Amino acid sequence: MSKKSTTKLDLVSLVKGYKDSFPFYQVLAPSGEIVHSDLEPKLSDEELTTLMKRLVWARTYDKRVTLLNRQGALGNYAPGGGQEASQIATQYALGEKDFFAGTYRDLAPLILHGLPLEKAFLWYKGHMKGNEYPEDLQAYAPQVIVGGHITHAMGVAFGMKKRNKKSIVLSLSGDGATSQGDFYEGINFAGAYQVPYVAVVQNNGYGISVPVEQQTAAETLAQKAVAAGIPGIRVDGMDPLAMYAAVSTAREHALAGQGPVVIEALTYRFGPHTMSDDPTRYRLAEELGEWEQKDPLVRMRTYLSNKGLWTEEQEKEVAESCKQEIKDAVAAIGQVDKQKVSDFLKNMYEVSPQNIQEQIAEYEAREMKEDE
């Protein structure tokens, strides 16, 4: 603790200075040029190509699932298009044993972390089997309470530290989550216990319709880490290489026992909040146009094409195979048995108390009648 005293009480310039402490990290400019080679992640050509494949896969997924929702084939959907660098490059930096805690917008990275596609679709459909996760899947089901998973993620990380595991926890959230008390409690505990946790905040500018400037007087969200005494950085969330580099560095920091990191990813969702949202009520078309110029896929495509690592054919191939996977998954979920009330009553407790036992019997009798 600093023991230096001061006689200066210039509050206005004090708050103005906060933003200067949070420079913005970028590796790949929208043009596809490397702007900071010293920050460039050390990825092999093969790894770079894999990352690009994943970005294309996620964009195809977003477009296809949006369409399926419009057709009524799947339940509600929260689009991720535009946020691929923040979601997919982030997840790409994780190890297999790392734990992933995301939100309802983070299905594409959750699938890439190991969730079978049919399960994601069953989740959209509101079927209990959607969250019947394999035992070794290191992830939570998508969190619906904005910011609710930040304290859970910190808790898993604390558990990993207690067990001396060589793994970390990664959470994805939006800017809205940083307005929640749980966000602060989560990062504050994480700092107090120095747990291996990386919190990536996808600042897409809006909590549904409320702009960040109306959510907080803080000019950056990264600076919220300062209050918890942990590192906070701002990254171009439309830049896959910057996101990969930032998350990898934060992960190494956490694995080295140096504690948690908050990463603010500056990004934008091209689509609506969910399929029942109309963004023209709160966003200007020009704004969307400006952000489309920063498209993570465009800059990565240019970068890799210039290196001779990416072709139009490859891109088509990934998109086609993604569409086929989706087709197969949609067919597979059509074969899943209808869920019964008696089934999920059995999931309330390990040992059912009297009321649940009675209700299971009641619903089983009713369901048997309906089957006849």
Partner 1 sequence: MSKKTMVQAINDALDYKLSKDENVLLFGEDIGPNGGVFRVTDGLQAKHGEDRVFDTPLAESGILGMSVGLATEGFRPVPEIQFLGFILEAMSPVVAQFSRMRYRMANTRSMPITVRAPYGGGVHTPELHSDSLEGILAQVPGMRIVIPSNPYDAKGLLISAIESNDPVIFLEHLKLYRSMKQDIPDEDYRVPLDKAAVTREGSDVTVIGYGLMISEALKAAKELEHEISVEVIDLRTIAPIDMDTVLASVKKTGRVVVTQEAQRQAGVTGQLMSEIGERAFMYLEAPISRVTAPDSVYPFGAAEADWLPNAKDIIKKVKEVYDF
Contact residues: partner 1, CB under 8 A: 99, 128-135, 140-141, 145, 148, 150-160, 162-163, 169, 181-182, 185-186, 188-189, 192, 344, 346-351, 353-356
- CA dist 241 and 235 (Å) reads 10
Minimum distance, C-beta of residue 62 to partner 1, in the bound complex (Å): 25
Q: Which is nearer to partner 1, 124 or 189 (CB)?
A: 189
Q: What is the b/e burial string over 63-99, where b = at least 16 CB atoms within 10 angstroms of the residue's CB?
A: bbbbebbeeeebbebbbbbbbbbbbbbbbbbbeeebb
- CA dist 172 and 168 (Å) reads 13
Closest by Cα among 126, 85, 79, 129 to 106: 79
Q: Which is nearer to partner 1, 91 or 138 (CB)?
A: 138
Minimum distance, C-beta of residue 121 to partner 1, in the bound complex (Å): 15
The count of C-alpha atoms lying within 13 angstroms of the C-alpha of 5, restricted to the half-sphere facing its C-beta, is 1
Cα–Cα–Cα angle for 279, 281, 282, nearest 5°? 75
From 127, 234, 251, 273, the catalytic residue: 273
Minimum distance, C-beta of residue 123 to partner 1, in the bound complex (Å): 10
From 70, 282, 349, 366, the catalytic residue: 282
| 269 included as an active-site residue | yes
Minimum distance, C-beta of residue 140 to partner 1, in the bound complex (Å): 7
Residue 259 near residue 191, CB atoms below 8 Å: yes
- Listed in sequence order, the residues at least 6 apart from 118 whose beta carbon sits closer than 8 Å to its beta carbon are 329, 332, 333, 336
Minimum distance, C-beta of residue 125 to partner 1, in the bound complex (Å): 14
Q: Which is nearer to partner 1, 282 or 344 (CB)?
A: 344
Query: Per DSSP, what are the bridge partners of residue 265?
Result: 202, 235
How buried is 123 (Cβ within 10 angstroms: 0-12 exposed, 13-18 middle, 19+ buried)? buried
Q: Which is nearer to partner 1, 128 or 284 (CB)?
A: 128
From 54, 64, 234, 269, the catalytic residue: 269
Q: Give catalytic residue positions.
A: 269, 273, 282
